[in-house]
Amino acid sequence: MSLGNRVRIAIETECSSIKAGNVHPHASFHDLTHEHFMVAAKAIGTTIDEHVGESVGQIVLQSVKAMMEFAETNTSLGTILLMAPLVVATNRMGKDESGQPRAFQRYVRQTLLAMEPEDSVAIYQAIRIAKPGGLGDSKFMDVRETAPESILDAMRAAAAWDDIALQYVSDFELIFSLSRRIENLQNSSRQSKSEVIRCLQLELLSERVDSLIARKNGLDYAKEIQKKAGKVITAGPFGSDEFERAWQGLDRFLRDAKHRGNPGTIADLIAASLF
């Protein structure tokens, strides 16, 4: 299977799983639907196959351009930023190392360290094109300024408050950890992959604030959601009536009129982990 198809399937699987506060086949926002994500997934996957041998920055830039051309909205900037180093690292691995997580993470580290000033310029351009929510006058790599020589310097500055940036300066440790959790959840239960993703999203919401929610609404609001997610987990066993009532209450809270509670960064992390 091509790397582009692997990316497409990961995005499709994540966005098609029913998760609190996110778009899925049975829940849309007024300006964002499940179909937007599916169209974007196909465009991103096709573009990655066309540029698979290129740099991280070019894969990010070309994928964002394709997403905006075909979906006409920013569905997946965070996912693209996470996928690009994983794609480049996978493409550089030898066949004899395939399926070895430690080797894969080593290649990811080497890919990140090998990025050049041109990657910074391309990534800044991609972020400007996508116009992600919640930037305002923020520090997020200040994309209105000239790109730094090293994109890792910018990511390092943002890592304390943005989980996408954090992956770039931690060798994607969280992504590898989440990938293992998905595998363990599948092996230890009879749940479908969609149910595993639903369960993992709730656990992540209870464990860490979602970067997108915090950027758009402040840390206190993000922490309030974190507490509410924890209460859902303790309401009853997964799938029980008590659990479902609590989960639906959380889902309704996240879907206020302005969709302030959309946990978009956690969705990006899950998509990359599925890859």
Q: Specify the CATH number for 3-174+267-274; select among 1.10.10, 2.60.40, 3.40.50, 1.10.4200.
A: 1.10.4200
CB 61 within 8 A of CB 130: no
Q: What is the pLDDT of residue 141?
A: 54
Give the pLDDT of residue 104: 94
Q: Provide the 10 A C-beta neighbour count for residue 184.
A: 11
DSSP-assigned letter for residue 30: T
Q: Is 52 left (phi over 0), alpha (psi -120 to 50) or beta?
A: alpha
Q: In which residue ranges of the chain is pLDDT below 70?
A: 133-142
Domain with CATH 1.10.4200 in the chain: 3-174+267-274
The amino acid at residue 90 is T
Please, where are the H alpha helices in 19-55? 34-50
CA dist., res. 207 & res. 227, Å (int): 9
Query: What is the tens place of the pLDDT at every residue in 258-269?
Result: 778 999 999 999
**DSSP β-bridge partners for residue 27:** 24
Token pair, residue 170, equals 């931690």
Q: What is the dihedral of CA 225, 212, 110, 116, to 10 degrees?
A: -160
Sign of CA dihedral 88, 169, 178, 143: negative
Look at residues 275, 269, 144, 154 and name the one whose alpha carbon lies nearest to residue 212. 269
pLDDT for residue 96: 73
| Distance of alpha carbon 43 from alpha carbon 120, whole angstroms | 23
Instruction: Say if residues 250 and 9 touch (Cβ distance below 8 Å).
Output: no
Query: Tens of pLDDT along 28-82?
Result: 998 899 999 999 999 999 999 999 999 999 999 999 999 999 999 999 999 999 9
Q: Which two tokens stand for residue 73?
A: 């909205």
The two tokens of residue 148 are: 């730094």
- Which whole-number Å values give the CA distances from 256 to 17, 60, 141, 143, in the listed order? 20, 31, 29, 29
Among residues 6, 27, 17, the alpha carbon closest in space to that of 194 is found at 17
Give the pLDDT confidence score for residue 133 in this predicted structure: 66
pLDDT value for 149: 93
Beta-carbon contacts of 226 under 8 Å, excluding residues fewer than 6 positions away, are: 205, 206, 207, 208, 209
